[in-house]
Structure 1
Amino acid sequence: MIVDAPPAPARRRAPVGTVLCWVAAAPTAAWATVRLVGLDRGPLVQALAFTPYVAGWSVLALALTLALRRWWPAAVAALAAVALLGVVVPRALAQPQPAVTGPTIRLLTANLLAGAADASTLVELVRRHRVDVLTVQEFTPDAQAALDRAGLDRLLPYRQLNAQDGTPGSGLYSRWPIGEVGVRDNRGGWGFSQAYGTLAVPGGPPVRVESAHPSAPYALDQVGAWRADLVAQPPATPGGGLRILAGDFNSTLDHGPLRALLRTGYVDAADATGTGLTGTWGPYDGDLIPPVTIDHVLIDRRIAADDVAVFDLPGSDHRPVLATLRLPAA
C-alpha cells in the first residue's frame, strides 16, 4: 500500500502589505506626537516647519491603510491625520474678527536679504497698495539709500531706522508720526536688531509697532539662540496699549515658542484671515525645499485683520507680507 506523504507546510509569506502600511503610518504618528507635545528641540526645530506637508501625507497614509484593509495601521494613521489636520487646516479658514470701528492700517513687512532685495519693487508695492507702515529686516545703509532714491522718503516720511551692513539691521517706516522710538538688540545668532516706535494714527489709539527678527535655527548650535530670542519678544499687553510685531520670525505656527508668544494676546493676521498656509520663505533658487511660512504679522487680539496678501520680491529669499488691519476707535 502506498501512503501519500504529508503535504509540506505552507511557506509563510511576508506580510508585505502590513509592513508597507506601518511604514506609511508610523512616521506620521511620530510627527503628530512631536508636534502636539511640543518637542521642538535640536534637528526637530527645522523639521517641524514642514508640518503642513506632513499633514497632507497623513491623508495619503490613511487612504493606503484603508485600501489594504490593515486596521491597526489604519487606526494609528487616522489618529495622526486628525491630529495634524486639526492644527493645520484652521490656518486656511478665516476666523471671526473683533467688531471695531477705528481706522484702517495697511502694514507691509519684508526681509531684504542683507540689502539685496530690489528697492524699486518694494517701493512700488508701497505705492500701489497705499501702505501706511513698512517694517524691514536685514536692512543695510545701501538699501536705505536705494529705497529713498525710489521714492520711499516721499511715501513714508516718518522713520526709525537702524541700518547696518550685513544682516543685523532693521527699520520702521510710517505715513504718520512715530514716537517712543528705539532699537531692540537680540542677543542670539547674528545679533539681529528690531526697530520700534509708537504710531500716532489719526482717529485711532497709539500703536506700538516693532520690526521683529529673532535668530534663525540654521544649525544645531543656534537652536538655543533661536529659542531665547523668541522668548525675549515683547508680549502683548491686553490690559494696556496696542502692539504689533511684524517681520521674519524664523518660526512657523508649528513651533512652540511662537505659539507661546501668541498666547500672551497676539493673533497671527494670516491665520486669522485664512491665508496662514501661504509660504513666505523659499528658497527660490531651484533647491528642492518647499516654501514655509516664517514671516508673520502678529497683532493685538483687539485689532481686526481684514486681509493678508503675499508678494514676490526680486533679490530676496523672503516674500513680503501685506496685512490690512482695523483698529479700535480712539
Structure 2
Amino acid sequence: MIRILATLLGLGALAVAVTGFAARYLPIAGHPTLILAAAAPYLSVAALAAMLLFVVARRWVLALLAVALTVALMWVYVPRFLPGPSEQTDAVDVRVLTSNLGMGEADPRQLVALAGAGADVVAVQELTQEAADGLSAAGMDTVFPHRVIVPAPGATGIGIWSRHPIVHSGRIDGYALPMVGTRIRVPGVRVDATVLSVHLAAPWPMPIEDWKSDYATFPDTLREMGVAAGAGAVIVAGDFNATYEMAPFRRLLDGGYSDAGNESGAGLARSYPAGGIGLPLIGIDHILIKNCAAATVRTVVVPGADHRGLLATLRLPVDMTAS
C-alpha cells in the first residue's frame, strides 16, 4: 500500500515539476501560461520530491527519470546563484539603483538616504508629481544634480537621477508606458554610457495584450540602443513586469545583453510584491547590461513602495574599444 501511495504521489510531483520546466519555454498566449512561467521555480522543487517518493516506492526507472529532470533543473537554476568570471581589470564602478515607487508612495526621505549611500545613478518608475516634489524636498537634486524626469499620474511617470553629467536625453514612446533614455558621462570612461529607465506594461490583472505588444517591440528598441551606443555601455533598468522564466523576457537578451542579476549570481532576485510582512515572490525588476559587467546585484527595501529596489555595482571598461 505504501509503494502504491508513494508511486501515485511521485507521479503527481513529477507532473508538477515537468510543468514547471516546460513553462519556461512555452509561448505566453494568456494568463494561464504567464502564471505557470512565474511559478516555475516553485513548481520545479517538486522534482526532488518525486525522486524521493520513487525511491521509497522502489520504482527505479521512474526514480532515474526524476533524477534526470532534477539535474536538468539544476543546470537551469544553479548558475543563477554563481557569479560569472570577471574579465575586466581596468574599469570604473558605477552603482545603479532602480526602484518602482508604487504609484509614488515610496518614502522620499528614505529613498534619498538609500540612493545617496549606495548609488551613482537612480532609475525610477511610477514617478508622480507629488513623488518628484517630495524627492526634491528631501535632497535628491542635491545628491544627484543631473536628472531627466517625466512625472505623471499613477503608474505613467518615469525618471533618472545621476551624480554624473547627463549629456543627452530623450523620451521613448510607442509603449503602454513612457520610457526615458540618457547618455551619462562617467569620469574615467572614454565613451558615454547609455542608461534607460523602463516600465513595461503589466500583464496582470488587466488584459495581457499591452504586455505582449511591449515585448514584441522592445527587442527592436534594445537593438537600436545597442547600435547607437557603439562601444559604450548600455544599462537598461526598471520594472519589466516579467520574470527570467518567461521566454519573452529572455529574448530581450539577444544582441549582446545580459541580466545583471544572473551575471553576478544574485539568484532569483525576487522584488515583488514587497508590502506586508511576507517576502517577495517573483523577480520582475531587472537591470540589463551590454558592454559592461555586473559585480554585485541585490534587492533593497524601499519603504512605502510595493516593489523592492534593485541595487547593482556595474563595471564599465575604461577603454570601451577593448570591450
**TM-score of the pair, normalised by structure 1:** 0.87
2:261 alignment partner in structure 1: 270
Letter in 1 for 2:184: L
- How do residues 45-194 of structure 1 correspond to structure 2 at under 5 angstroms? 45-129=34-118, 131-187=119-175, 191-194=176-179
Structure 1 residue 92, shift from structure 2 partner: 0.5
2:242 is the alignment partner of 1:254: no
1:113-153 CA-to-partner distances (Å, cap 9, x unmatched) read 11001111110011222x11000000110000000111101
Kindly provide the CA deviation profile for residues 56-110 of structure 1, in whole angstroms up to 9, marking residues without a partner as x. Answer: 2322222222222123432332233223222111111111133241321111100
Alpha-carbon distance in structure 1 between the residues aligned to 2:169 and 2:257: 21
SS in structure 2 of the partner of residue 291 of structure 1: coil
- Aligned residues of 1:114 and 1:140 also touching (Cα < 8 A): yes
Contact residue 183 and residue 196 of structure 1 kept, 8 A: yes
- Which of 192, 195, 210 is the equivalent residue of 1:209? 195
1:235 equivalent in structure 2: 222
* Cα pair distance change 1:13/1:85, threshold 3 Å: closer
Q: Secondary structure at the match of 2:91?
A: coil
On the 8 A contact 2:179/2:198 being kept in 1, the answer is yes
Cα distance change on mapping 1:58 and 1:13 into 2, 3 Å: closer
1:211 maps to a residue whose letter is: S
CA–CA separation in structure 1 for the residues paired with 2:97 and 2:60 = 49
Whether contact under 8 Å (2:125, 2:155) holds in the other structure is yes
Going from structure 1 to structure 2, the CA distance change for 1:261 and 1:100 (only over 3 Å counts) comes to: farther
Distance 2:74 2:29 in 1: 22
Cα deviations across residues 291-315 of structure 1 (Å, max 9, x unaligned)? Answer: 1111111111x31211112111111
Deviations 1:188-232 (A, max 9, x none): xxx32111110011111211100011111103721x321221232
CA-to-aligned-CA distance 1:212-270 (integer Å, 9 cap, x gap): 11111103721x32122123223252754321100111111111111111122111111
CA RMSD of aligned residues (A): 2.2
Question: Tell me, what secondary structure is at the counterpart of 2:45?
Answer: helix
Cα deviation 1:163-207 (Å, max 9, x = unaligned): 0011011001111121221111353xxx32111110011111211
Question: Is the radius of gyration larger for structure 1 or structure 2?
Answer: 1
- Is the CA contact (8 Å cut-off) linking 2:274 and 2:305 kept in structure 1? no
Q: Which of 273, 288, 299 is equivalent to 1:298?
A: 288
Q: Does 1:18 align with 2:3?
A: no
Percent of aligned positions with the same letter in both sequences? 35
Q: 1:173 to 1:228 in 2, by over 3 A?
A: same
How far off is 1:13 after superposition? 11
Provide structure 2 residue ranges, at least 5 long, that are not aligned to the other structure: none
Deviation at 1:278, TM superposition (A): 2.6
**Partner-residue secondary structure (3-state), 1:253:** coil
Contact 1:266 / 1:298 at 8 angstroms: preserved in 2?
A: yes
CA distance in 2, matches of 1:14, 1:324: 52
**How many Å separate the matches in 1 of 2:260 and 2:231?**
20
- The amino acid that maps onto 1:218 is W
More helix by share: 2
Q: In the superposition, relative to structure 1, how do residues 208 and 196 fare at CA in structure 2: closer, same or farther (>3 Å)? A: same
> Matches of 1:240 and 1:286 in 2, distance apart?
44
